[in-house]
Amino acid sequence: MQKTIALLKKNDELKIIDDLLDIYLEIPHLAYAEVKKEDGGKALLFTNAVDSKSGKTFEEPILMNVFGSYKRCELLFGRTIESVADEITKLLHMKPPSGFMNKLAMAGELFSLKNIFPKKRNGEGACQELKYLESAINLYDIPVLTTWEQDGGPFITMGQVYTQSLDGEMVNLGMYRLQVYDKNHLGMHWQIHKDSSHFFDQYQKAGKKMPVSIAIGGNPLYTWCATAPLPYGVNELLMYGLITKKPAKLVKSLTTPLYIPEDVDYVIEGWVNTSELRVEGPFGDHTGYYTLAEHYPVLEVSAITMKKKRVYLATVVGKPPLEDKYMGWATGKIFFPLLKTTVPDLLDYHMPENAGFHNLILAKMQPLYKGHAKQFMHAFWGAGQMSFVKHAIFFDENAPKLESYETISAYALNRFTPKSLFISEGILDALDHSSPETLVGGKLGIDLTQAKRVEAPEILTSEALFAKVKELLPEAKGLNQFMLRTANPITVISIQKQKNVREYFDALLPLAAFMRIVVFVDEAKNDISNGYMLVWRVTNNIDAQRDIFITESLVGVDGTNKNNLDGFTREWPDDVTCTPSVVASLKERGIWDFDEKLEAYYQL
């Protein structure tokens, strides 16, 4: 962490804030705004943190937004992201060499791979300079942040969670949010599809407690490795060795059998009683919504160790764009070669951060035969973490760059017909709130790999079209049109919903000559001129099986919040917003420097 701070300072990527600030809302709110600035703002170092509820002040600084720009990502990686992807590609395509010189070259490459593997060392590490056991254990001595007003409590957000299988043969490094219940208990939010949850099942069946060690800090690459989508049973710290060409040096935890990097700043050790679950959450998560309170396993802390000179690393999640935008960019680039082993004809893919990553993927492929794109859809929905993708749009090799949203949107809309849609059902991320039941819901695929002749509608001004809509839908409150120069303009209608949206859609069928794709959103909390946040809202709020309406000439999308009018029986969560009184206080003290126009645009 100290080296990271020095690196960020040297490259003018660090902003130091010495003002006295609360770990309850104030520090997270500032970090939440900072990353939304141009190019991700700066990394933030808070040197004067306090817990106003207990009156405790903290000697350690808090570092946030460390990965929050493309430049900072590559600084922390120490190399270009593309070079890591190229190295993985080379490893995947390594073939037996022919000729003596080729054999020598391969021997050199293989010899260098020895540094990939973590190395266990005897003795203790810097992470164990201070030790707290038994009655000295107190999680409240760590400056764990409470990010949002409705959060169930303080949450560790950058924890490296180290676990192992029951037989000790497999180890895993993951990142899960960790709720602080009291001085010696943490909630373990590992979802059912995560490796740690699979290990938990093994211990539960055996009737044994499960050891867990949680690290915070150290080289930021440890934290990134915790998010790496590697196959089941593969140690994520192998990525650290591959990137840095140095093995991660590990020491044994004091009270568990698990090994952690010697230079992390904190280690929280403990044991999970597999017969106990406790309510965890709610928590304002990366979807931009609160995930609801659910039962999850509980860790009883058996030891806390830390460096004498330590830094607390944290992040904040909520509405996009946030630090995970840049971490996800690096992950997508680096693991593209592995994804291609499942779908070899994949040329490129991109997951827009304003769709919450899993809510939308754009993919470019080489279509070789009729139905090839649909085959791709099934492959995506069955490939590791890609199986949680809700909506996937597939383009042919001639499509423009996927990150060029304006041009790729026009390319898509000039090819789209209702027959392009493919709706299925599959597994969903546990954070998804829109499906009728947890973990399973609608999937939407759109095949745009074949050119189609599409007749454009008759174009009216938004004012003229709204007048016609208003005659049929008295509940309509606003209308805006996007991409009018394409064959399939998108019409967004805000409503005060008083009936199921399907009824509103059916009422608009007489206006099909003037519209092609109609998206309904609630009037409350939506700006129908703001495409960036509409993508966020709609991809979060729809279940394809329930909320897509298809006719020969008109397609409807219900992006409203669901309730009993829709037969929706689950609780619908609030979206994440800053606490106005906290922001007002920061402004009065001259600490908040975020542009008011951006506050409105990103719906803080």
**φ/ψ bin of 540: left (φ > 0), alpha (ψ from -120 to 50), beta (otherwise):** alpha
Query: CA angle, 207 as apex, 202 and 210 as ends, to 5°?
Result: 60
Task: Give the CATH class of 331-448.
Answer: alpha beta
Domain boundaries, the chain: 2-314, 331-448, 462-566
Q: What does the pLDDT look like over 39-48, one tens digit per residue? A: 999 999 999 9
Closest by alpha carbon to 159, among 189, 135, 136? 189
Would the CA dihedral through 421, 349, 542, 453 be positive or negative? Answer: negative
pLDDT for 92? 63
Q: Mention the CATH class of domain 462-566.
A: alpha beta
Taking the C-alpha atoms of residue 423 and residue 436, their distance in angstroms, rounded to an integer, is 15
228 is written with which tokens?
A: 């790496």
Choose among 167, 154, 133: nearest CA to 267: 133
For the chain, what is the mean pLDDT?
92
Residue 106 has pLDDT above 50, yes or no: no
More confident residue, 430 or 15: 15
Residue pLDDT, tens place only, 453-486: 788 899 999 999 999 999 999 999 999 999 999 9
The dihedrals phi and psi of 106, each to the nearest 5 degrees, come to -65, -35
Q: Reduce the DSSP state of residue 49 to 3 states and report it.
A: strand
CATH number for the domain running over 2-314: 2.30.110.10
Q: Is the pLDDT of residue 235 over 70?
A: yes
Cα–Cα dist 535/516, whole Å: 18
Give the tens place of pLDDT for each residue, 197-230: 889 899 999 999 999 999 999 999 999 999 988 8
Q: What is the pTM of this model?
A: 0.93
Identical fold between 331-448 and 462-566: yes
Instruction: For 325-357, give the DSSP string.
Output: HHHHHHHHHHHHHHHHHHSTTEEEEE--GGGTT
Summarize pLDDT for 130-187 with one digit per residue, the tens: 999 999 999 999 999 999 999 999 999 999 999 999 999 999 999 999 999 999 999 9
